Amino acid sequence: MRSIKQLRPLSACEGAQKGRCSMSLELLSETSSEDTRSRSVAEAQVIAANVDFYRHIAAKYDSSERYLFDTLLQRSIEQDLTKIGSCFGSVGRTPSCLECGGGTGNLTLKMCARGWKVTVVDVSEEMLTSLRAKALAKGFTPTLIAAPIERFLDEVEETYDLVAFSGVLHHLYSYASVVERASLHVCPGGFFYSNLDPVVPRRLLRARCFDSVDIALGKLSHDPLDVVPGVWRRMRKLFLPHDVMFNRPVVSPGDIAEYHARSGVDDLEIINQLRKAGFVMLDHFRYPSGRTRISRWVNKRIRALELFKIIAQREPAKT
């Protein structure tokens, strides 16, 4: 895997004449710089937490993540890619795809199987190692890059026929900023695709109660060795003060890595962003989540927690 070069730091008043900033501009710059530094520190900590989080769970990820065994969900993803691929006939070349946060390859391998040229960026080298082994076993050769997607999007200039996220946005400190930057890398006529992220809950208390039960059932079904440690982690949170920066008790890297898992991702905000960037919505769908059949059955009726998917196409270049 190739490395990502370091970004050049920007000066606070880049382009301004030396010594000519007014007092008001200096104060504004100082405030803005302080806010920027705070956001940068928080974002860096979320990225580091994701590195640690996946270092610990990479070995068991494919056996513990329930969505990998959900036949209906996997079929739906295949149908989404078929819908997108049906528009690639006019490209006249092998479609190029960027998967942001590819993990162990659930979406990557489906794209490779269609003969598409795929670049995968993920913050976890351990997850990419698993993906590489599975890809080689199938004869696929996607380009794998170990880097934070925030850094990658700022570094590269390439555009792609498809930019995809799969269960990634809720792991990002500022998903809105990442979506905005990712949209710039979709070529005219290309597609933005996102799936498997939680919607902002309509009723927070109901959502949190259901989530606690759902996690417990999921652990019992798919990761029984973590049941006791998981209960202990939750008990410890009851007595810990909230972290000042993240406004939550922090016991393990997962508490920060899955940054928006409980608060959800605002899918309507993402849709508005994409429309402003010149995209047309082809599909926007919300569906109930659940780590087991029982919890999914219950959630279909109470809609305590939902996931969403978005398929959007950038308007073709005008001739």
The 10 Å CB-count burial string (b at 16+, else e) for 178-191 is: bbbbbbebbbeebb
pLDDT score for 220? 87
Pair 314, 281: CB distance under 8 Å: no
In this structure, how many other beta carbons lie within 10 angstroms of the beta carbon of residue 253? 20
Q: Residues for the chain: how many in total? A: 319
First to last CA, the chain: 38
By C-alpha distance, which of 209, 222, 117, 218 is closest to 162? 117
Q: Which CATH class is domain 58-199+260-289+303-314?
A: alpha beta
Rounded-to-integer distance, Cα 236 and Cα 47, Å: 24
Largest CA distance in the chain: 66
User: How confident is residue 142, by pLDDT bands cut at 50, 70 and 90?
Assistant: very high
Give Cα separations from 45 to 40, 74, 122 (angstroms).
9, 32, 16
User: Is pLDDT above 80 for 75?
Assistant: yes
Q: What does the domain layout of the chain look like in residue ranges?
A: 58-199+260-289+303-314
Task: Name the percent of the chain lying above pLDDT 70.
Answer: 88
pLDDT score for 35? 60
pTM value is 0.85
